[in-house]
């Protein structure tokens, strides 16, 4: 019967270092998974809200287009509304003078109303924050901040490996007989 002898010379602290690297990898993987899941859950919990806007002023109808004031809202969709000439509130512009898309109004090049100030009435729908959205946002931010601790884990792991190496070196020097048994 053969007995196996464990011979780990020259690998002092390697198992702890490998465990530390594996632990950091697993923590990073879990943080990534939970952050992605939290982001998807947050996006799924917005409350769809519709709002009517009346008398929004667009200064100078332009071919380059102008954004409505709500263009930066979460998942905003603007529906066509009524556009009129601000200098004469009774003149409603025909849809051949402008286009509205993605909460942006663009003047048509042949329109006689280019550079005129226009008023717009429209309806927009957007994803409003709610309690669930705020909780998921806070949770995702909290989970993703775990990676700020990685440098601390690395330094502590390196210190543990160095302490183990020092203890092993001292033990091997004592066991080798190089230190005399002299007393002071």
pLDDT in tens, 118-177: 999 899 999 888 888 888 888 888 887 877 877 887 788 788 878 887 887 887 777 777
In this model, does residue 96 exceed pLDDT 60? yes
Global pTM reads 0.55
**Residues spanned by the domain of 152:** 15-43+132-168
- 81 shares its domain with 114: yes
Q: What is the pLDDT of residue 182?
A: 55
Measured distance CA(133)–CA(141) in Å, rounded: 12
Which pLDDT belongs to residue 160? 80
Give residue-wise pLDDT tens across range 166-178.
887 887 777 777 6
Apex 49 CA angle, 47 and 42, nearest 5 = 25
Does the structure show a pLDDT above 80 at 16? no
In the Cβ-directed half-sphere of 67, how many Cα atoms lie within 13 Å?
A: 8
Q: How far is CA 34 from CA 38, 130, 135, 144, in A?
A: 6, 20, 14, 8
> Do 100 and 136 fall within a single domain?
no
Residues 162 and 123 in one domain: no
């Amino acid at each position: 019967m053969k007995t196996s002898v464990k011979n780990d010379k020259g690998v002092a602290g390697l198992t702890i270092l490998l465990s530390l690297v594996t632990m950091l990898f697993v923590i990073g993987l879990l943080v990534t998974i939970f952050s992605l899941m939290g982001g998807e859950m947050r996006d799924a919990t917005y409350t769809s809200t519709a709002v009517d806007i009346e008398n929004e002023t667009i200064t100078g109808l332009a071919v380059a287009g102008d954004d409505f004031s709500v263009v930066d809202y979460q998942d905003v969709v603007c529906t066509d509304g009524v556009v009129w000439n601000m200098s004469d509130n009774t003149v409603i512009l025909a849809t051949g003078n402008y286009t509205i898309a993605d909460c942006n109004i663009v003047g048509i090049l042949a329109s006689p109303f280019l550079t005129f100030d226009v008023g717009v009435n429209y309806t927009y729908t957007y994803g409003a924050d709610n309690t669930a959205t705020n909780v998921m946002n806070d949770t995702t931010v909290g989970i993703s901040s775990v990676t700020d601790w990685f440098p601390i884990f690395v330094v502590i792991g390196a210190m543990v490996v160095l302490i183990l190496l020092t203890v092993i070196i001292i033990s091997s020097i004592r066991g080798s007989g190089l230190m005399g048994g002299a007393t002071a």
